[in-house]
């Protein structure tokens, strides 16, 4: 559904990221595995696992890449819930809310 012109621009960019540079190809593929997991791209994940193995990644390196991605993903949940709790003035472990400013109570309440 992507316009051909935009698909071409994307593909040129994608190819550029895999050209020889500071990072070797195996490292790029391990990063791509993490990015594929984070973005829920099944096809990407499968392709980058195959390429990582092709470029010399071990099962242990792929497993560690997955574990790091899991840790970062879990940290994002902790971060989001901590921010929500702070904004809602909820204290996680004692079950109470942080004290609020006193307010007038209407007769209907």
Percent of all residues in the chain with a pLDDT value above 90, rounded to a whole number:
75
The rounded distance, in Å, linking the Cα atoms of 101 and 109 is 17
pLDDT tops 60 at residue 43: yes
The CATH homologous superfamily to which domain 24-87 belongs is AhpD-like (1.20.1290.10)
The rounded distance, in Å, linking the Cα atoms of 19 and 76 is 31
The rounded distance, in Å, linking the Cα atoms of 93 and 53 is 44
* Residue 89 DSSP code: T
Confidence of residue 93 (pLDDT cuts 50, 70, 90): confident
Q: Say what the pLDDT of residue 96 is.
A: 58
* Bridge partner residues of 97 (DSSP): 90
The domains of the chain are located at 24-87
Per-residue model confidence as pLDDT tens digits over 58-72: 999 999 999 999 999
């Amino acid at each position: 559904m992507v316009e051909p012109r935009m698909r071409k621009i994307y593909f040129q960019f994608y190819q550029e990221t895999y050209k020889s540079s500071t990072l070797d190809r195996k490292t790029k593929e391990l990063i791509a595995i993490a990015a594929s997991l984070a973005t829920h791209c099944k096809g990407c994940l499968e392709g980058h696992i195959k390429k990582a193995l092709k470029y010399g990644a071990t099962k242990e390196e792929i497993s560690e890449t997955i574990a790091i991605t899991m840790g970062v993903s879990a940290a994002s949940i902790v971060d989001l819930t901590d921010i929500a709790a702070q904004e809602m003035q909820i204290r996680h472990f004692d079950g109470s809310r942080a004290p609020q400013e006193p307010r007038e109570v209407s007769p209907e309440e």
